[in-house]
Amino acid sequence: MESVTAARKETTPAVAEAAPDATSGGQANVPSPQETDGFRLVIEALKLNGIDTIFGLPGIPITDLTRKAQAAGMRVISFRHEQNAGYAASIAGFMTRKPGICLTVSAPGFLNGLTALANATTNCFPMILISGSSEREIVDLQQGDYEEMDQLAIARPLCKAAFRVLHAEDIGVGIARAIRAAVSGRPGGVYLDLPAKLFAQTMAAEAGRKSLIKVVDPAPRQIPARDAVQRALELLKSAKRPLILLGKGAAYAQADADIRALVEKTGIPYLPMAMAKGLLPDTHEQSAAAARSYVLPEADVVMLIGARLNWLLSHGKGKTWGGKDAKAWGGQKFIQIDISPQEADSNVRIDAPVVGDVGSCVSALLAGIGATWAKPPADWLNAIAERKNKNVAKMGETLAKNPMPMNFHSALNVVRDIVKANPDAILVNEGANALDFTRSIVDMYKPRKRLDVGTWGVMGIGMGFSVAAAVVSGQPVIAIEGDSAFGFSGMEVETICRYNLPVCVVILNNNGVYRGDEVNPTGGRDPAPLVFVKGARYEKLMEAFGGVGVQATTPAELRKAMEEALRSRKPTLINAAIDEGAGTESGRITALNPTAKKK
Ligand code: OXT
Ligand code: ADP
Ligand code: MG
């Protein structure tokens, strides 16, 4: 820190400014060896903090930043639309616990990235959206600058923190603050505004180097209070029908071995939220996923680990939890492990909040459990096993059918086998029916292998997540996409081909949003609002860029194409033709969809 003040003293009077995109081609404004500039300082500040990848889309004023970052050895992944770059950055943050970087141009590029920033904040994914911006003095007087917009003000309510850097010597502090804000406490999105003029500012190279900050311990452990842990253990001990709920905060924490030990040592059945699937293998005997609608209302003590009682858990009350009506409490007592002290009581009373990071909390609980912890009563475990076996057998029967055309089950039966044979592959998933059926049919075997629409149920994450997952992990990616969902980011198949990523996209194509068989009730020429071109050949899109395109009309064709994609690691798009009448409105969340009263 000492160096920043020193640097400012030394250099402020000497800071030079020049128009950055006068540098296009990277030729002009090259600082002398004794000097550095805004471009270099941004890159060096990121690299100093172990950030080696940028997801973005070039243009004024950040074109040279992308070039120079690549020249400096960073991985720069260029997208076709900033929203997809933003989703890529956010999921890279989730997978690595380092902030994912999305880089955009000003106003429209910034706005395109903003949805992903807001989504990252909602999902507690650490990400930094860095956008170039136009001339402050013109923007603030609203004099009509090129891509004029007060970006900082617009971003602020949609993210955890928003900063602007005006002087080259403050770049180190700006990046350090952005990193800390993104990953400390509850992770989230951060906006960093870099005005065009900043990039070409020069300063003495030595002072510039000293102004950078390597962030020490960016996400400090948060140790839970001993009495909070004790309270939680006592409540858990008193339970007759305990249940553990694992959320994506638990997956994010990368405390996999301790979480598994806690579940196994207590013998408590657990339910994984969608992105916590695989934290323990879905085939684990303590998984209650196949008895969800039984365990939620029947449990008496529920321990939430990195999961929120939001809409996905019916706010912890109502009929899902055995309440008498939609708002009534079901009688459960809750233990909640969360890094955010404000999360407890957000929906129902939390009897034992344990505030801290999942790793520290779980290890404290493990220490408190000791060697003599009694397993839950056998009648509870047996009752769950009975429901579970019934559901699994029922699912088995459905999966064994081979209807023509294919339905979601017969297609996903193939995906289920392929994922089982390739447990390191990452599964990206979006759609409505395509999402819900995949979640319950396709078992996951390892942590953080399932990436999906998350807290907002947002469509459009598909190709951005796939690109980032492949880039960050080097593992093959299988993207199971509804045909509508795919459309939100489909152009990024070019990105997948350009970087030659091992991504196998499977479109479960039922010709529309939810299903494809609706008709215009007026008999007019326009199609119904939810249906698409029948029998669209999405696989041609992948072929257009040199990837492999396959149309699959049977499970056997789908299996062959997926096996080949995983073997070859070539970008592949399989267009799986699904019965257009197979889906239901909004998938499993039909009840959330208001419909006009039927006469
Ligand atoms: O216990 P019960 O009997 O109930 O059974 C449960 C489990 O016990 C059982 N189960 C199992 N059985 C046997 N074996 C195993 N292994 C097993 N595992 C589970 O199965 C059932 C179900 O289990 P589940 O899933 O755990 O339980 P449930 O009750 O479903 O859980 C509740 C929820 C809420 C947690 C769960 O449903 C959930 O996570 N839902 C997420 C829903 C979601 O986010 N949906 C996406 C949004 S929908 C909508 O908004 C769409 N839009 C609008 C739009 C959006 N979203 N975004 C933007 C930017 N613009 C617009 C659009 C446009 S979806 C959409 C496109 C849709 O069309 P597509 O073509 O893409 O997709 P298709 O529908 O395929 O055509
Ligand atoms: P899900 O949708 O899987 O239920 P949510 O996104 O709703 O998961 O909840 C995740 C929760 O995990 C958030 O409340 C967040 O504060 C918390 N969280 C995130 N990272 C950590 C961590 N390292 N330690 C503790 N809690 C965390
Ligand atoms: Mg569809």
Distance CA 87, CA 100 (A): 9
Whether residue 218 is preceded by a cis peptide bond, meaning omega within 30 degrees of 0, is no
The share of the chain scoring above pLDDT 70, in percent, equals 95
Q: How confident is the model at residue 597 (pLDDT cuts 50, 70, 90)?
A: confident
Sign of CA dihedral 371, 376, 377, 381: negative
pLDDT of residue 10: 34
Give mean pLDDT, residues 468-480. 99
Query: Which residue owns the Cα nearest ligand 1 atom 44?
Result: 457
Q: How many residues does the chain have?
A: 599
The share of the chain scoring above pLDDT 90, in percent, equals 93
Name which of 205, 145, 195, 188 is nearest 174 in CA terms: 195
The tokens describing 384, both together, are: 């769950």
Look over the chain and give the mean of its residue pLDDT values, rounded to a whole number.
95
Residues bordering ligand 3, an ion, CB closer than 5 Å = 482-483, 510
Sign of CA dihedral 340, 341, 342, 344: positive
The H or E element containing residue 408 is: helix 408-421
Alpha carbons within 13 A on the beta-carbon side of 596: 2
User: For tokens 């879905």, what's the residue?
Assistant: 282
Distance CA 285, CA 270 (A): 10
Pocket of ligand 1 (CB under 6 A): 274, 289-293, 312, 391-392, 395, 431-436, 439-440, 453, 457-460, 482-485, 508, 510, 513-514, 583, 586-589
Helix (H, G, I), strand (E, B) or coil at 190: strand
Angle between helices 378-400 and 433-441 (to 10 degrees): 120
* CA angle 486–489–492, rounded 5-degree value: 115
Would you say residue 251 has pLDDT above 80? yes
Residue type, 63: T
Query: Which residue owns the Cα nearest ligand 1 atom 13?
Result: 392
Residue type, 191: Y
- Least distant ligand from the CA of 97: 2
What is the DSSP secondary-structure string of 538-594?
Answer: THHHHHHTTSEEEEE-SHHHHHHHHHHHHHH---EEEEEEB-TT---TTGGGGGGS-
Pocket of ligand 2 (CB under 6 A): 123-124, 186-187, 247-249, 252-253, 273, 275-276, 306-308, 310, 312, 338-340, 343, 357-358, 455
Give mean pLDDT, residues 516-534. 97
pTM of the model: 0.96
Query: Edge-to-edge, what's the strand order for the sheet holding 161-164?
Result: 75-78, 53-56, 100-104, 127-133, 189-195, 161-164
Q: How confident is the model at residue 28 (pLDDT cuts 50, 70, 90)?
A: low
Q: How confident is the model at residue 29 (pLDDT cuts 50, 70, 90)?
A: low
For residue 386, give every residue at least 6 positions away whose Cβ sits within 8 Å of its Cβ, in sequence order, or none. Answer: none
Cα of 249 to ligand 1 centre, how many Å? 20
Cα of 409 to ligand 1 centre, how many Å? 14
